[in-house]
């Protein structure tokens, strides 16, 4: 509940064409100012001004990450509830809504092409590159420990890369499926699994941000060093949740928040790490809860990245 003055301010903030379009876009997930500027075709200062008004009114929230900032609908409160109700009243064929969604698809396609080009370039040396910044042996030991003695019918490895997670956890599942959008990575993964004698796992080319229902469901889902390549990791997590069986388990490995901007410009990262609070929020939105978190600081106290291992379940 809110008093009349608060409601009036919220309504004033929402009651403008561009700001309503922004709320509609943010209802589909988090976006950066850069992306929103491209989609709306407006200047960065103007879009930022509209976003500030919406944030000040409690309709949206802002998460700063280095030189970038990401915005999303307020997860709770009067402002967030009102924003979702307003978007629900829009006609599905509203011209502005359809135009913005089409531009959003183009922006996401461009981002995926950028990431695919990067992965194609580094596919052969991917494991080596990854090991430069994280204590990989310790992380992998913790992953095996988190799986424990349980045997899983189906493991789904989203963003399988070189197939390392399928190889590592091969003794713990009866059937494994690795999904990746990079043909070069898939080729490396197939060769790796064949060399390791892992015959009960297969890899497929596919969009891990829009999982094909024909893949079916799994009782173990692994998302290893993937979410930071997405503007909206929460949307990705919700997609993955739909493929998780009741009483299933999800393991997520990714970086803690950091300030290494070069990972955006040179290594196709979209998010500069994921915080504990963000993961809690995304998990709740997906109908899951964080059951455990383990962190791995860098080997050097002055450089490197902290790695996090989250265990999620119902």
**Comparing C-alpha atoms, which of 223, 240, 239, 314 is closest to residue 274?**
223
**Comparing C-alpha atoms, which of 230, 8, 271 is closest to residue 108?**
230
- Kindly list the distances between the CA atom of residue 251 and the CA atoms of 39, 144, 222, 309, in Å, as whole numbers in the listed order: 33, 10, 5, 7
Quick one: residue 4, left, alpha or beta (phi over 0 = left, psi -120 to 50 = alpha)? alpha
- Of the candidate CATH numbers 1.10.10.350, 1.10.10.10, 3.30.420.40, 3.90.25.10, the domain formed by 4-90 belongs to 1.10.10.10
3-class DSSP state for residue 275? coil
The encoded tokens of residue 32 equal: 């950066």
Quick one: residue 262, left, alpha or beta (phi over 0 = left, psi -120 to 50 = alpha)? alpha
DSSP one-letter string for 64-110? EETTEEEEEE-SSHHHHHHHHHHHHHS-TT-HHHHHHHHHHHHHHHH
- H helix intervals, 173-312: 183-196, 233-242, 262-267, 276-285
Residues in the chain: 314
Architecture of the domain whose range is 123-313: 3-Layer(aba) Sandwich (3.40)
- The pLDDT profile of the chain, 314 residues, written as one tens digit per residue, is 567 777 788 888 888 889 999 999 988 777 888 889 999 999 989 999 999 999 998 989 887 756 677 788 887 788 888 888 988 888 888 888 899 888 888 887 776 676 567 666 665 655 655 555 566 888 999 999 999 988 899 999 999 988 999 999 999 999 999 998 888 888 788 878 878 888 898 888 888 878 888 888 999 999 999 999 888 899 889 999 999 999 999 999 999 998 888 878 777 788 889 999 999 999 999 999 999 999 998 876 666 788 999 999 98
Q: Quote the pLDDT of residue 266.
A: 77
The structural domains of the chain, with segments of one domain joined by +, span 4-90, 123-313
């Amino acid at each position: 509940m809110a008093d009349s003055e608060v409601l009036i301010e919220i309504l004033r903030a929402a009651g403008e064409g561009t700001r309503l379009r922004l709320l509609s876009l943010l209802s589909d997930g988090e976006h950066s100012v850069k992306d929103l500027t491209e989609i709306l075709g407006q200047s960065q200062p103007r879009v930022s001004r509209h976003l500030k008004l919406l944030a000040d009114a409690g309709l949206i929230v802002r998460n700063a990450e280095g030189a970038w900032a990401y915005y999303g609908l307020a997860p709770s409160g009067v402002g967030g509830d009102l924003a979702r109700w307003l978007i629900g009243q829009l006609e599905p064929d509203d011209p502005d809504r359809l135009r913005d969604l089409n531009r959003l698809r183009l922006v996401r396609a461009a981002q995926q092409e950028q990431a695919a080009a990067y992965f194609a370039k580094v596919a052969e040396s991917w494991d080596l590159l990854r090991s430069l910044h994280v204590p990989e042996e310790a992380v992998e030991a913790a992953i095996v420990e988190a799986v424990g003695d349980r045997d899983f019918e189906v493991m789904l490895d989203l963003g399988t890369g070189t197939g390392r997670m399928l190889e590592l956890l091969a003794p713990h599942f009866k059937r494994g499926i690795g999904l990746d959008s990079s043909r070069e990575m898939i080729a490396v993964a197939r060769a790796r699994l064949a060399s390791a004698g892992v015959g009960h796992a297969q890899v497929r080319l596919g969009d891990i941000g829009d999982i094909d229902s024909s893949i079916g469901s799994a009782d173990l889902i692994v998302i290893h060093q993937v979410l930071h390549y997405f503007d909206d990791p929460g949307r990705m997590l919700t997609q993955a949740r739909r493929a998780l069986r009741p009483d299933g388990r999800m393991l997520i490995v990714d970086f803690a928040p950091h300030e290494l901007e070069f990972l955006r410009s040179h290594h196709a990262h979209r998010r500069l790490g994921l915080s504990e609070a963000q993961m809690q929020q995304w998990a709740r939105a997906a109908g899951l809860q964080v059951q455990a978190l383990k962190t791995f600081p860098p080997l050097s106290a002055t450089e490197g990245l902290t790695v996090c291992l989250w265990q999620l379940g119902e």
